[in-house]
Amino acid sequence: MRKWALIALGALSLVLTSCMGVKPVVSDYEIFYERSKGILESELGNGRVLFFNGGYFITTYTPLKATMINLKLNGKNVPTTQLGEFFVLRLEYGEYEFETEVRDVVWKRSKYQIEITPDTKLVKLMPSGIGRNVKVVKRLPDYFRNYRYVEIPSKKK
């Protein structure tokens, strides 16, 4: 009986501490602009890239911090985003190393090589312990009107 109580206590403590999320970071990039009325896809491209957190979220199960993702571009921090947040950066064309940090039940760090071209407009960030965390997409999701602009300030260079 005591053995099962210790196992249950260990499992409970693992569950309660595993979904703590990542620590928010300040951006090394200057956020391109902010508008309260939203964003138009026609304004993107030619180095203006919209990043959005498009993870999967179940309101009765998923802790909010588990939907956060930290991202570095070529070793520089960009804003930590939660589910339903977005930001726009002006980037030079070329190859970038995207490094993600996600902490859900597991702590996952991944690196990806993505090329920014004049046609690159949208980058989807997905805070998941499994699978790919960064993906260049062609269109915004239908529910994007519910997204909000990221509220973490950036450091000016």
Across the chain, which has 157 residues, the per-10-residue mean pLDDT values are 71 53 61 63 86 68 66 87 85 92 76 92 82 84 80 53
Q: What is the pLDDT of residue 115?
A: 93
Q: How far apart are CA 140 and CA 145, in angstroms?
A: 9
Q: Between 1.10.1220, 1.10.3210, 2.60.40, 1.10.10, what CATH number should domain 20-149 receive?
A: 2.60.40
Which residues are paired to 125 by β-bridges?
Answer: 53, 134
Q: What is the pLDDT of residue 22?
A: 54
- Which of 29, 19, 21 is CA-nearest to residue 152? 29
Q: How far apart are CA 81 and CA 127, in angstroms?
A: 9
The answer to whether 6 and 14 are in contact (CB under 8 A) is: no
Q: What is the pLDDT of residue 64?
A: 59
